[in-house]
Structure 1
Amino acid sequence: MANHDLIARIRTRIDELNRSERKVADVILRDPNAAIGMSIATLAQAATVSEPTVNRFCRNFDTKGYPDFKIQLAQSLAGGTPYVSRSVESDDDASAYTDKIIGATIAALDEARRTVDPKRIERVVDHLSQARQINFFALGASAPAAFDAHNKFFRFNLPVSAHNDVLTQRMIAAAAHTGDVIVVISYTGRTRELVEVAQLASESGATVIGITREGSPLADVCTDLLPVDLAEDTEVYMPMASRMIHMALIDVLATGVTLRRGKSFLPHLRKIKESLRPTKFPPTER
């Protein structure tokens, strides 16, 4: 992975680090610009760890040591968005948590833009374009993305549904056939019920698309995957930035299917759009 992705790599791998190394990561992610100016002794003191721990942390990210790590950190800031993911603290005021949440969302979307694999997008668009029917499954905070997908994909003249009830998902998965596409959306990819539903759908012959973390239990049972690898604190707060990435990817897929249908399909979409015109008040002049 390129040097400019160092911050993204730290965020993605933070759960793999031991407690001491995670302290180092927290200090760096809290203010990477300040970290660049710190000596190894200052960083160790800020993280309440030893200097060898800092060196070990740096080598974990394929750098030769702390000086090389700081160079790559500077390149990371220069090559990507200046906004980084910072955890919301209990004593944050409205200004602080608003800035953190919106900044983290900007950073996450920018990272997704730079790292999404167009070949994976093309494969998933292929599956969706050829589908006999499409079902979107999600639970909890990921459910809005599934219902947003239903709102977009029902316009393509094929059966589409979205469900956030596990029992309904299981029944649909059990009754699926070859030609059906089931898209499962999950931030963690570790929800047992969704993994079981995806496995059941796959065994029934459906194509299962996962929008989730790469290497997760859900990803392992999917036919194809659009990975969303974002370090986000979901133990206390609901997923925020990841949900926005899920919706952005849904927009990308819907656009891909629209383009695949060709210009002859545009009048159909225009007809649907124009059907809503009588439901709106005319725009007011200012």
Structure 2
Amino acid sequence: MAQSGFSRIRSFRSQLNGSDAKIADYILTHEAATKTMTIQEMADATGLSTATISRFVKRVGYNSFREFSLSLAIIVPNNNTFFGEISEGDDRKAIVQKVFSGAENALASTLDISDKENFATAAAWIVAARKVGFFGIGGSSIVAFNAYHKFLRTPIDSFQHPDYDIQVMQAVRMNADDVAVVISHSGRNHDTLAVMQHLQAHGVKIIAITAFPNSELAKNSDLVLASAAEEVNIRSESMSSLIAQLTIVDTLFTLVGVQMGDQTAAVVDEIRQAIEQTRR
């Protein structure tokens, strides 16, 4: 299921300012009207130039105004519950349905905005790296640990640790032959950005996994794998983003595993045999 343009704008809204914020706010408050507007009509309605509208469209991830306009026509069940917003009157059945729908929609939306070439490039960098570090603070450390757990099944020399100080020490021991996968839902966590700065200082290639492709982390990374996000109330947006980011990691692992073929199979077999011995 493709992501509605309105949903994508909401996911970008907190990162926009100036003319971009003005355009976004106009579109979100005039949904019915903007669905059929031409670029000139939107420019007239917002008091801006067509060039400014065109730049906005590209900033939120579309190649052209036509592509953007078509995305506004995509019908989703309910924009306010697209990511499973919980209301006070919801019963248990409705809550369960919304949580699962939120995860499903996050995956579909992430796939919609993903750049398949970026996945291919990230996998190639990981395969060629001397070693690979997975970095994340707080909730993002769950994704980082999952990545480390997955990549233990490949010949890749990888590492991960949840402690910030140790992450800093790991970062300063990396070099230009290494790759760092840095995970942050917001892309603005101060500790994560500090780790990123150490990685940059040592020439490490940085792959960012974040829901905010205009964040400081994304802007300072060599490559970005974006997950979809949208503000919701009780169930934090990062919950759906977490599902999407875990799937991004699974995709990377699968691409690397397939690329390394027999080497991966040999590691998997050896690990499986070792674990089986603990179950006797």
Q: TM-score, normalised by structure 1?
A: 0.72
Identity across the alignment (%)? 23
Show the counterpart of 2:119: 121
**Deviation, structure 1 residue 159:** 2.8
Distance verdict in 2 for CA 1:193–1:96, change over 3 Å: same
Show the counterpart of 1:110: 108
Question: What are the ranges of 5 or more consecutive residues in structure 1 without an aligned counterpart?
Answer: 29-35, 41-54, 63-70, 282-286
For the pair shown, which has the larger CA radius of gyration, 1 or 2? Answer: 1
Specify the code of the residue in structure 2 equivalent to 1:191.
N
Distance verdict in 2 for CA 1:107–1:237, change over 3 Å: closer
Specify the SS of the correspondent of 1:240.
Answer: helix
Question: What are the ranges of 5 or more consecutive residues in structure 2 without an aligned counterpart?
Answer: 34-44, 58-68
1:246 pairs with 2:279: no
Contact kept? 1:7, 1:76, Cα under 8 Å: no
Distance verdict in 2 for CA 1:117–1:23, change over 3 Å: closer
Task: Provide the rounded CA distance (Å) in 1 between the counterparts of 2:83 and 2:188.
Answer: 22
Specify the SS of the correspondent of 2:208.
Answer: strand
CA RMSD of superposed structures (Å): 3.4
Task: Provide the rounded CA distance (Å) in 2 between the counterparts of 1:194 and 1:181.
Answer: 16
Aligned positions, number = 241
Task: Provide the rounded CA distance (Å) in 1 between the counterparts of 2:263 and 2:73.
Answer: 46
Specify the code of the residue in structure 2 equivalent to 1:202.
Q
**Deviation, structure 1 residue 11:** 3.1
Query: Within 5 Å, which residues of 2 pair with 1:44-123?
Result: 75-77=73-75, 84-123=82-121
**Deviation, structure 1 residue 24:** 5.5
Distance verdict in 2 for CA 1:165–1:91, change over 3 Å: farther
Distance verdict in 2 for CA 1:92–1:235, change over 3 Å: closer
1:192 to 172, 190, 193: 190
Contact kept? 1:195, 1:221, Cα under 8 Å: no
Q: TM-score, normalised by structure 2?
A: 0.73
Deviations 1:87-117 (A, max 9, x none): 2234433222222221111011011223311
Q: Which has the higher contact order (CA 8 A, sep 6+)?
A: 2
Specify the SS of the correspondent of 1:182.
Answer: strand
**Deviation, structure 1 residue 280:** 4.4
Query: Within 5 Å, which residues of 2 pair with 1:130-141?
Result: 130-141=128-139
